[in-house]
Each structure stands twice: as structure tokens, then as C-alpha cells.
Amino acid sequence: MTAGLRLDALLEAVAHAAGGQLPATLHGDPALRIRAVAPLDAAGADELSFLANPRYRAAARETRAGALVLRPADRKQLFGDGHPRMALIECANPYAWFALAAQRLSPAEAPAPGIAPGAHVAAEAQVHAAARVDPAAVVEAGAVIEEGSWIGSGAHVGAGSRVGAGSRLHPGARVLAGCVLGRRVIVHSGAVIGADGFGFAPLDGRWIKIPQTGRVMIGDDVEIGANTTIDRGAMGDTVIEEGVKLDNLIQVGHNCRIGAHSVLAGCVGIAGSASIGRGCQIGGAAMIAGHLSIADGTLIGPGTLVSRTISEPGYYTGFFPLMPHRDWERNAAALRHLQELRARVRALEAGLKNAPTKDD
């Protein structure tokens, strides 16, 4: 376990990292040393936890954490003006504050520079003296590995590719020929950047392969989960803008564009030439059809089939048909009573059929 940080030093470090966007107030001992983060039900006296969801207020009241970050309203409701044992950190966004604190308490390992024995680095490749290439990694001719980057064991950097400063390719990650990664990009094991897109032309019952000659262009501060695949463009490029976060097992088709700071959960599938706006949130296993666009700031529920362009941002849910989330909730509620409604309609129809007429 690390020596940790005093609470006052931790608050200062988070404030600096957040650029003043997460002001926080400490109620408690500034000299308390925090060594790690932990969930509410497991945290100890030298650990930090957080409360962001009201469902966990009871657990927050009983936690044994040494420090707890929470909203001002939750502090007042749960603890009044203070707590006899635990330090309380007030912040309007406790989850983000906790995330930055966790980074300070568990900093990423810095790469020890150098090319390991057993790595294959082409003579025509450029590897910065402050970069690291682990055993069994391959860096092909014309590739550029910038300062502070770390190419894990068994990872592959294709010919003419570029890995930006401070980026990390975990063991077994693949960046194929001509693709470009920005700064501080993280690519987890098994991910493939720059595989051929699914491009075939039909001819008399056969399929003729269309050469995929574009690239994948990835901006700064992107994270790509394990076994996610991003296909190269057929002619133009597939583009992942800065700050995008992709979970595991996502498929991004050729010539797609994902706007800055969008986040996609696991098993999302995106067909070719789809354009996802900036700041979108897409739930797990959602399906995005090709050649459509999704407006900036749109939220897509898990498992949703997006079969048409979304021009107005909002929260959309459902397999079929796609509709605004509130409409889907109303229809889903009616669907649960469908058998009852069917029986009532049949009873009404039977009553009308047996009702006396004017001639009776």
C-alpha cells in the first residue's frame, strides 16, 4: 500500500487537476492520510469513498471510511454539521471528484524507457528515446512512437502508423498500417485499430472485395476497450475525435465518425459511414445502422436499434420502433396490459353483437 496523501494535499491536487471546475469544502481533519479508495461497504479508516446515488445513503451513513465525498444536500441530510469520526468533502459532483482523487492515489505506472530484447523494431521506424517497447512487440517500418509511449508485449504497430506522446498499447493490442493515434491514447488488449472494413460488391452471386485504403484517425485522450475493433475507411478515414471512451467489444465500421467526448458502452455495433455527434452517450448492445447521423448530446438506451437519423438530441430507447424515451415508456406500460385490453375489447364487441336493435 502506498504512503497516500494528506487530505489537504489531496484536495489541492484534485483542484489543480480539475482546473478549478470542482470546488470542494472539507469538514474534518486536513492532516488525515488517505492511502486508497474503496466502496462504501468495504472502506476503512485510511480510505476514501463517495456518495453520488441517493440509493446508497444508508450505506454512506454506516460506512467506516476515513473520508467521504458527497453533495452538500446529502451531507446536511445524513450528518448535519459534521461527523464525529469521518472527514466529509462537499462537492457538487462527487463522482468526478472521487475519480480524480483515485487517479492521484493510484497514479498510472510510468514506462521505463527502452526497447526490450525480443522486440522487433524495424530499422526505418522511429522510437523516441523516452518511449518503451516490450518483448515480442512489433514496430514496422515507417512507424513513429512518440515520447513517453508504452508498447506492451505482443502489441503491433503497423507500417507508417503513429502513436502519440504518452499513449499506451496494452499487451496484444493492434494498430495496423497507416493509422494515427493522438496523445495519451489507451488501447486495451485485443483491440484492433485499422482492420479492413466490410466492403464487398455483388456480382452474379459472388462478392468482390473493395480495397480499404483509408485510415483510422484517433484524437487525444481516447480510451479503447479490450477486443474493440475500429475499421479503417474504405477511401476516406474513420475518425474518433478527442476524449471519446469506448468500452470492450465494440464494433466501429468503416468511415464512421464519433464526436468528441462521446462514451459508448460494451457491445455497441456501428455500421459503416454512421456519424455520431459530440457528447453522446450510447448504452450497451445498442445497434447503429449505417449512413445515418446522431445529433450532439443524444442519449441512446441499452439494446436500442437506431435505424434512422436523429436530428434532435434527447433520450431514445427501444428496439423497434425508435421513439423519444418518454413515448417509449408510455407504450411499454400499455403493452404490459395488452392481454387485459384485448379481453375487454372482445367483451365489448360481444356485448355490441348481442345488444338489441331498434327492430327488436
Query: Would you call 72 helix, strand, or coil by DSSP?
Result: helix
Count the domains in the chain. Answer: 2
DSSP state of 60: H
Give me the phi and psi of 79, to 5 degrees please: -130, 0
Q: Are residues 29 and 133 in the same domain?
A: no
Residue 55 falls inside a structural domain: yes
Distance, first Cα to last Cα, the chain: 92
Q: Are residues 146 and 26 in the same domain?
A: no
Residue type, 334: A
pLDDT at 353: 76
Q: Are residues 93 and 233 in the same domain?
A: no
pLDDT at 66: 97
pTM of the model: 0.88
Instruction: Express each pLDDT in 59-86 by its tens digit.
Output: 999 999 999 999 999 999 999 877 778 9
Q: Are residues 309 and 215 in the same domain?
A: yes
Q: Are residues 54 and 148 in the same domain?
A: no
CATH number of 303's domain? 2.160.10.10
pLDDT at 329: 87
**Which residues lie below 8 Å from residue 116, measured CB to CB, with a gap of 6+?**
132, 133, 134, 135, 137, 153
The question of whether 254 is a catalytic residue gets the answer yes
Residue 356 falls inside a structural domain: no
Residue 168 confidence (pLDDT) above 80 = yes
- Say if residues 146 and 128 touch (Cβ distance below 8 Å): yes
Query: Would you call 96 helix, strand, or coil by DSSP?
Result: helix
Q: Are residues 287 and 200 in the same domain?
A: yes
Point out the catalytic residue in the list 254, 291, 325, 337: 254
- Region of poorest pLDDT, from 30-34, 66-70, 191-195, 341-345: 341-345
pLDDT at 27: 94
Cell of 159: 507500417
Residue 253 falls inside a structural domain: yes
How far is residue 335 from each of residues 127, 211, 331, 339, 344, measured CA to CA in Å?
Answer: 60, 47, 6, 8, 14
Q: Are residues 265 and 166 in the same domain?
A: yes
Residue 164 confidence (pLDDT) above 60 = yes
pLDDT at 358: 65
CATH number of 88's domain? 3.40.1390.10
Beta partners for residue 47, in sequence order: 36
Range of the domain at 188: 114-326
Residue 320 confidence (pLDDT) above 70 = no
pLDDT at 76: 93
Instruction: Express each pLDDT in 287-308 by its tens digit.
Output: 999 999 999 999 999 999 999 9
Residue 358 falls inside a structural domain: no
Of the candidates 137, 87, 91, which has an alpha carbon nearest to the alpha carbon of residue 111? 137
Q: Are residues 149 and 185 in the same domain?
A: yes
Q: Are residues 121 and 247 in the same domain?
A: yes
Residue 354 falls inside a structural domain: no
Last residue within a domain, chosen from 52, 78, 105: 105
* Block residue for cell numbers 492511502: 35
Number of Cβ atoms within 10 Å of the Cβ of 335: 10
Q: Over range 278-290, report the average pLDDT.
A: 98
pLDDT at 83: 79
How far is residue 333 from each of residues 186, 328, 330, 345, 347, measured CA to CA in Å?
Answer: 42, 9, 5, 18, 22
Of the candidates 222, 165, 138, 162, which has an alpha carbon nearest to the alpha carbon of residue 188? 222
Q: Over range 209-231, report the average pLDDT.
A: 98
d(C-alpha 130, C-alpha 119), whole Å: 16
d(C-alpha 183, C-alpha 171), whole Å: 18
Q: Are residues 224 and 129 in the same domain?
A: yes
- Say if residues 14 and 100 touch (Cβ distance below 8 Å): yes
Q: Over range 166-178, report the average pLDDT.
A: 98
Cell of 118: 525480443
* pLDDT-above-70 percentage for the chain: 98
Instruction: Express each pLDDT in 250-266 by its tens digit.
Output: 999 999 999 999 999 99
Instruction: Express each pLDDT in 28-61 by its tens digit.
Output: 999 999 999 999 999 999 999 999 999 999 999 9
pLDDT at 180: 98
Number of Cβ atoms within 10 Å of the Cβ of 3: 6
Residue 1 confidence (pLDDT) above 60 = no
Average pLDDT, whole number, for the chain?
95
Q: Are residues 100 and 231 in the same domain?
A: no
d(C-alpha 353, C-alpha 224), whole Å: 64
- Say if residues 250 and 292 touch (Cβ distance below 8 Å): no
- Reported as a pLDDT band with limits 50, 70 and 90, residue 337 is confident
- Say if residues 342 and 334 touch (Cβ distance below 8 Å): no
How far is residue 232 from each of residues 60, 75, 143, 175, 229, measured CA to CA in Å?
Answer: 47, 50, 17, 11, 10
Cell of 231: 475499421
Residue 337 falls inside a structural domain: no
Residue 136 falls inside a structural domain: yes
Residue 37 falls inside a structural domain: yes
Q: Are residues 246 and 156 in the same domain?
A: yes
d(C-alpha 184, C-alpha 167), whole Å: 4
Element spanning 61, H or E: helix 57-62
